[in-house]
Amino acid sequence: MAGRLQGRYGLAVALALLGLCPEIVLGTAGLPLTALVANDLGSSPLALQLANGLSNAGYAFGAVLAAQLAQRFVQRRLFLAYEALFVLGSVLAATAPVTGVFFAARLLQGTAAGLMLIASLPPLVTRFGVARLPLSVVIVNLGLFGASTVGPIVGGVAGSLHGWRWVFWAAALAGALGWVSAWLGYESFDPLDPDLPVDRAALGLALLATVLTFTAGSLLSAVPFSSPAFWAPMAGGLLLIWLLVRTERRKEQPLMPVPALSTQLPVTGIVVAMVGGAVFTTLALLLQTSLQKVGHQDPLSAAGAFWPAPLGLLVAATAFGLVFRTRWLPVLVDAGLACLVLAALLLVLTGGARPSGWTWVATLLLGLGAGATVSPGLFLAGFGVRSRLLGRAFALVQLFRSEATFAVAPLVAAVAGLSSDPAAGLRLAFLVTLVLAALGLLAAVLLPALSGARLRTPDLEAWLEDGEQAMVSPVTAVHARRGVDDGTAEPLLPRRGPRR
């Protein structure tokens, strides 16, 4: 049966969603779940912050490791192993008797999900032809980040039921169904590039960088910004990320194609994905905190404030599918960032302490922003590189996106804790996030303009079938750099046609 069903599109969709969505949901369900786990296992807040932080580090590093393994090994076998590891981690979390077991389980879950990301999404995009692409990108939107809009609702329901283990049992069940879908439907195809050397430097730097930065962010629940326990690992991690990019840029055969990702389209896409993920995750965390600690809402009422977010995500994901084959994709990501700016502004003005019509508008805008930034930004980056490099490009973009998404939220939450008045502190944190969203929108508008980019329809046939770039991607900010020229860049100001 498995042989007859291998390569079926429906099963490829099922294994991608069942493999990726559970961990994405857990990533934003953390606040209510953390309180429940702490009460049940007698855990300290710091221990659970570290567990979630290193799970996110595993997710970021897992994508890089999977990109390397995919070059040398059959991905069908790899995916089955990754999914089995996720199921094991979920079962361990659901049955954890002590904090140490829960810690190990979350690390296993996050790493396995990062591994599955590269083993599931690039094949789904590249192996089913151009006709399937609009539907595929909608599915990628849901599996890559869209499921995060459901996380606060799941966490709130778990809090109202005073039980957290069923959430992890549900993750284990979804993972098991994903394994069956992969066993039946994952097509066996040859390794992508067996001759590519193992990039030990990239793997080592990525591992150390993610561990250091996510550990630093987690420690902010116990130490101030001025503590060396925070700024030393954070500075070290950021330095290692810079060194990773510099090292990969100079290599003849790098694991991650940094030179191809340095042009305008990938740079803009990376900025959009980083800012979109960071702003959504931060605002979701701050709003949950405001509702429960300032507004004194019960977990179910706090969860109810987020019901418009999945609706907004579905609208944005549908719009993504509709504009994917047109020249309007860059406009969609700008609109998504604008939605996040408006959501942050509403929360600055209202405080978000009680569910209201304005709160619902804010969470609707959050869902729209999440669906119109992260995945569309990822594909903007992908359009600027050849399709055969997509998995390796996704790995680096995902590393940057994860760093921003899961490292910024603890930093901004720590800003909220600087004030003795929780409401004033949260309003300041909302304001900081508003500034971040506005800067991201400004960058997404200025980078294409300064690079001489114009709205162009992607050539998806050339991208998938001929292995070329889908769109022209000029040198980044070429018009702002002396002595740099690019014949593909349009003038900074559009030429005016002759008067008639």
Q: How confident is the model at residue 498 (pLDDT cuts 50, 70, 90)?
A: low
Beta-carbon contacts of 404 under 8 Å, excluding residues fewer than 6 positions away, are: 274, 275, 277, 278
Instruction: Kindly state whether residue 500 falls inside one of the protein's structural domains.
Output: no
Distance between CA 280 and CA 370 in Å, rounded? Answer: 6
Q: What residue numbers bound the domain in which 242 lies?
A: 197-254
Taking the CA atoms of residue 183, residue 192, residue 129 and residue 274 in that order, the dihedral angle to the nearest 10 degrees is 90
Is 149 in contact with 303 (CB distance < 8 Å)? no
Instruction: Looking at the structure, tell me whether residues 326 and 474 fall in a common domain.
Output: yes
Instruction: Looking at the structure, tell me whether residues 242 and 379 fall in a common domain.
Output: no
The backbone torsions φ and ψ at residue 496, rounded to the nearest 5 degrees and listed phi first, read -90, 135
pLDDT given for residue 30 in this prediction: 72
Instruction: Kindly state whether residue 364 falls inside one of the protein's structural domains.
Output: yes
Least confident residue range of 28-42, 226-240, 277-291, 374-388: 28-42
Instruction: Kindly state whether residue 225 falls inside one of the protein's structural domains.
Output: yes
Instruction: Looking at the structure, tell me whether residues 298 and 371 fall in a common domain.
Output: yes
Q: How confident is the model at residue 2 (pLDDT cuts 50, 70, 90)?
A: low
* Amino acid letter, 122: P
Instruction: Kindly state whether residue 476 falls inside one of the protein's structural domains.
Output: yes
pLDDT given for residue 500 in this prediction: 43
Instruction: Kindly state whether residue 496 falls inside one of the protein's structural domains.
Output: no
Residue 253 has pLDDT above 70, yes or no: yes
Q: How many domains does the chain have?
A: 3
Minimal CA–CA distance to 369: which of 154, 146, 153? 146
Instruction: Looking at the structure, tell me whether residues 244 and 138 fall in a common domain.
Output: no
Instruction: Kindly state whether residue 499 falls inside one of the protein's structural domains.
Output: no
Instruction: Kindly state whether residue 79 falls inside one of the protein's structural domains.
Output: yes
Instruction: Kindly state whether residue 495 falls inside one of the protein's structural domains.
Output: no
Instruction: Looking at the structure, tell me whether residues 109 and 216 fall in a common domain.
Output: no
Question: For residue 321, what is the domain's CATH number?
Answer: 1.20.1250.20
Residue 28 has pLDDT above 80, yes or no: yes
Q: How confident is the model at residue 264 (pLDDT cuts 50, 70, 90)?
A: very high
* Residue where a domain terminates, one of 254, 272, 301: 254
Please, how many CA atoms are within 13 Å of residue 22, restricted to the half-sphere of its CB?
30
Is 313 in contact with 371 (CB distance < 8 Å)? yes
Q: Where are the beta strands (DSSP E) in 400-452?
A: none
Instruction: Looking at the structure, tell me whether residues 158 and 305 fall in a common domain.
Output: no
Q: How confident is the model at residue 349 (pLDDT cuts 50, 70, 90)?
A: very high
Average pLDDT, the chain: 90
Q: What is the pLDDT of residues 133-158, one digit of tens each?
A: 999 999 888 887 888 999 999 988 98
Instruction: Looking at the structure, tell me whether residues 466 and 357 fall in a common domain.
Output: yes
pLDDT given for residue 495 in this prediction: 65
Question: How confident is the model over 365-389, as a mean pLDDT?
Answer: 92
Distance between CA 4 and CA 391 in Å, rounded? Answer: 26
pLDDT given for residue 499 in this prediction: 46
Instruction: Looking at the structure, tell me whether residues 338 and 319 fall in a common domain.
Output: yes
This prediction has a pTM of 0.92
Q: What is the pLDDT of residues 71-125, one digit of tens each?
A: 999 999 999 999 999 999 999 999 999 999 999 999 999 999 999 999 998 888 8
- Could you tell me which residues are beta bridge partners of residue 263? 475
Instruction: Looking at the structure, tell me whether residues 25 and 63 fall in a common domain.
Output: yes
Instruction: Looking at the structure, tell me whether residues 226 and 295 fall in a common domain.
Output: no
